[in-house]
Chains A and B, each alone.
Chain A
Amino acid sequence: MHLSPDQIIFWQHGFFKLNATIAYTWGLMFVLAVGSKLVTRRLSTGHQRSRWQNLLEIIVTGIANQIKEVGLSQPEKYLGFLGTLFLFVAMASLFTIVPGYEPPTGSLSTTAALAICVFVAVPLFGIEKSGLGAYLRAYLKPTVIMLPFNIISEISRTLALAVRLFGNMMSGTMILAILLTITPFIFPIVMSALGLLTGMVQAYIFSILATVYIAAATRVRKPKPEPDASIEA
């Protein structure tokens, strides 16, 4: 019994090792990349198109619309990062229906890696949008006293992001494993279905939170209008 797929190690050479997390991640990457390549190899620009193309178009446009709804006016710019976050987490959950598969998102290392990516991406997008000075000044709002709290908020929300996904995915796998030992029939199937649902919800939550953080960082803060001197006089 192990809590994380990190503990299943296939190969190790000093600091370098190949554990289940990395292996399954590669598997997912392979499936996603090859699947996309296969579908987009023969894209149709006409009115008639394949089912797979329809599916991918729905997914891509759905993600883009979601990003737009949150408040990012140019979804194509963020689609690569946020869409990949969602697709990776969602596929990781979806593949739990394959026996013997351990979702890489059930490892705190993976979720931490994803959270670190978000932690780095948010200021990068913010600086790209409004410049370094304007971005850093945002930490001093509304007063300088708020600076440590703002920094703590950044770190804690990244931690929360990592732990939330890890907890959900790990718990799902754990519950399934425990139930299999108690009631091996029927009940694990229901739980597995429930696990799929929570997996999808977590994928949505993870990516939507990342979107919200980026949107918050890139929002153009309009300077408050100076009080009119003539009126005061």
Chain B
Amino acid sequence: MLIDWFTVGAQVINFLILVWLLKRFLYKPILNAIDAREKRIAKELADADARKAEAQHERDTFQSKNEAFEQQRATLMTQAKDEAKTERLRLLDEARQAADSLSAKRQETLKNDAHHLNQGIARRTQQEVFAIARKALTDLAGASLEERMSGVFICRLRAMDDQTKESLAVALKSTSDPALVRSAFDLSEAQHAAIQNALNETFSAEIHVRFETAPDLLCGIEITTNGQKLAWSIADYLVSLQEGVDELLKEKSQPEEKSAQGANEQGT
């Protein structure tokens, strides 16, 4: 007999026990371990995805921040450039103004100096000329000179233009006071008569004249009546001399100003 029924029963029981043992020690732990690993891997993948998303988000944030920063930087840079440009222009203007004012001041000073110098020269010249003239006239003073002077005065009286003559005539007629004839030195009787005659002839009337000596006239004769005056004096020549000197100084100072202006324009 090939089949032993006790052995069959025993083997059935053995097999069922083996099924239980293997379920307990093999299948369940192995399947649990595989499940746990799968869960863990799924979790890790999910974590990785989450981290990736987070990293992406952070990258985006950083990028946008960076862009904003770049934009801000560019704006600030432009602003700073503009400000620097404005400041530069302002400083340049200031410098130009300062240079202009300095130049103007300098020109003013130069002008003043020239003016003072001019005045000084004029005064000095005048003084010197007067001194020379005074000296020369003092040295030369004598009858002949006085005679000649009164002669010249009479000549001018006669050669007077119509307008002056008219105004003097009106002045002489409008007053009752005698006309005052002042001279730097004492005139002789003959001279008094000659002047009186000349006046009478010129104005065709009897002119009352009072003679007076005035040393400040500096070698000359003048007639004054009611605010009108006719005079001949060395001082006239001296005035024309002074005008000539003034003219000369002005001509000399003008080229200097021009050259100073040219230098300023080149500097700016």
Contact = CB atoms under 8 A, between A and B. Distances in A.
- Say which size band chain B's interface belongs to: 20 to 34
A185 B226 CA distance: 182
B27 A32 contact: no
Nearest to B27: A79
Interface stretch (B14-22, B60-68, B97-105, B143-151): B14-22
Interface in A24-49: 25-26, 28-29, 32-33, 36-37, 40, 43-47
Interface in B106-127: none
B36 interface: yes
A108 B187 CA distance: 193
Contact of B22 (A6, A61, A83): A83
Given A17-B6, A109-B8, A56 B15 contact: no
A109 B3 contact: yes
Contact of B30 (A26, A40, A114): A40
Interface string B1-36: 011111111111011111101110111011111101
A109 B15 contact: no
A81 interface: yes
A202 B36 CA distance: 34
A33 B7 contact: no
B37 interface: yes
Contact of A60 (B4, B21, B31): B31
A210 interface: no
B40 interface: yes
Contacts of A21: 7, 11
A81 B22 CA distance: 9
A36 B3 contact: no
Interface of B is mostly: helix
Interface string A46-76: 1100000100110011000000000000001
Interface string B58-100: 0000000000000000000000000000000000000000000
Contacts of A25: 11, 14
A60 B30 contact: yes
A33 B15 CA distance: 12
- How many chain A residues sit at the interface, stated as a range, is 35 or more
A22 B10 contact: yes
A3 interface: yes
Contacts of B14: 22, 25-26, 29, 113
Contacts of B40: 45-46
Nearest to B26: A36
Interface in A104-147: 104, 107-110, 112-114, 116-117
A22 B6 CA distance: 10
Contacts of B16: 117
A108 B3 contact: yes
Contacts of A156: none
B4 A43 contact: no
Interface of B: 2-12, 14-19, 21-23, 25-27, 29-34, 36-37, 40
Given A46-B40, A113-B9, 19 more contacts: A6-B4, A29-B17, A32-B22, A33-B25, A36-B21, A36-B26, A37-B25, A43-B29, A45-B37, A53-B33, A60-B26, A60-B31, A84-B15, A104-B11, A109-B5, A109-B11, A113-B8, A113-B11, A113-B15
13 contacts: A6-B2, A16-B6, A33-B18, A36-B26, A43-B33, A45-B36, A60-B26, A60-B27, A83-B27, A84-B19, A110-B11, A114-B15, A117-B12
